[in-house]
Amino acid sequence: MAVTIPLSVPDDLLAEVRTAAEESNVSMQDVFRQSTRLGLPKFREQHAQTSGRVTNVDPLPDEVLERIYSAPERDEEGIERLVKAQPKGVRD
């Protein structure tokens, strides 16, 4: 069974499809069908929602994380300012 689907195609893409059809000696319909069949697995792979990630930014490599978190962060000056900024003589 086949279903006919109206498809809006930008002019530049249509020109590429037309050229591909002429070069390969197949119909434009076949170019669309075969391109979809060839490209669909890659599309699904790139757009799969299996990881639950909310960003497309890759996580930092383990080596970078190790380097960042291996040395303790020392900020005595900042801690001292924070302590001084706390209210004095106030009870919970």
pLDDT at 69: 86
Between CA 35 and CA 17 the distance in angstroms is 9
> Is 3 domain-assigned?
no
For residues 19-34, give the mean pLDDT: 96
- Other beta carbons less than 10 A from residue 31's beta carbon: 19
Average pLDDT over residues 2-18: 93
The amino acid sitting at 42 is: K
**Quick check: is 29 in a domain?**
yes
Domain count, the chain: 1
Residue 12 phi/psi, 5-degree rounding, is -65, -40
pTM over 0.75: no
Using one digit for the tens of pLDDT, what is the confidence trace for 47-83? 776 656 677 888 899 999 898 888 777 888 888 898 8
Query: Which domain does 14 fall in, by range?
Result: 10-45
Please check whether residue 4 lies inside any domain of the structure: no
Q: What is the pLDDT of residue 62?
A: 93
Give the residue-averaged pLDDT of 5-11: 93
Q: Distance between CA 20 and CA 27 in Å, rounded? A: 9
User: With 60 as the cut, is the pLDDT of residue 92 above it?
Assistant: no
Question: Which amino acid is present at 35?
Answer: S
